[in-house]
Copies of this chain bind each other. A is one copy, B any other.
Amino acid sequence: MSQFDTKTRILDAGEHLFARDGFHNTSLRAITSLAKVNLAAVNYHFGSKEALLQAVIERRLLPLNQLRKKQIDAVLAAAAATGAAPSAKALLRAFIEPTLAFRSAGPGAQDFIALIGRSMSEPDETVRNCFIGLVLPNFRLFFESLQLALPQLPSAVLMARVQFTLGAMSHVMCTSHKPIINDPSAPKPLDDTTLIEQLLQFVTSGLEAPQ
């Protein structure tokens, strides 16, 4: 029953509307109306609008982070077993694939991915911190692992290239099957699986580029 209780319905509605309209452009009234619950229910169950956003993000990001960590650890362990350095592409896959593949988990998941894709460039600091605080440990592990894979790159250069990677990734996350620049003369977009492989190929080549 939990998927039909008040708290979950609020989380689902918040996820959808925050993703579609942005945090500041979404009112509690719109959320409670979509969730078919009373206006006061948000403050009763979550305390405030901002705490609701935090709950929306945590619900899915905590498991996602665990999965990413597990996959990165697996790549590191496999490399350590052979004594070789981990491959950059395997690390990129461990970081990127769980995130983007998660979109297929359903329409709510798709909303969520768009929401956190946009959180990276969110102007409001309190909103951005809701997301960054949860991702930072994961990101540190990812960056340190990449240093093992690409030891020849100065760390400032590697960091810049990782930021380019995050940018490409978050841009894809924001666009749920529709390109940001929606030109009628544009070619038909790739399916999600192909898109992920293309992204991996793109950022691997970029990260491994000569200086």
Using a CB–CB distance below 8 Å, which chain A residues touch chain B?
Answer: 19-22, 24-25, 117-118, 120-124, 128, 132, 135-136, 139-140, 143, 154-161, 163-172, 174-175, 179-183, 185-190, 195, 198-199, 201-211
Contact = CB atoms under 8 A, between A and B. Distances in A.
A101 B135 CA distance: 30
A170 B167 contact: yes
Q: For the complex formed by this chain, how many copies does it contain in all?
A: 2
B132 A164 contact: no
A174 B198 CA distance: 24
Contacts of A124: 21-22, 25
9 contacts: A22-B122, A25-B124, A156-B188, A158-B187, A159-B179, A159-B186, A166-B171, A167-B171, A168-B168
Question: Chain A at the B interface: mostly helix, strand, loop or mixed?
Answer: helix
B25 A123 contact: yes
Nearest to A199: B164
Contacts of A25: 24, 123-124
Contact of A140 (B185, B187, B189): B185
A180 B163 contact: yes
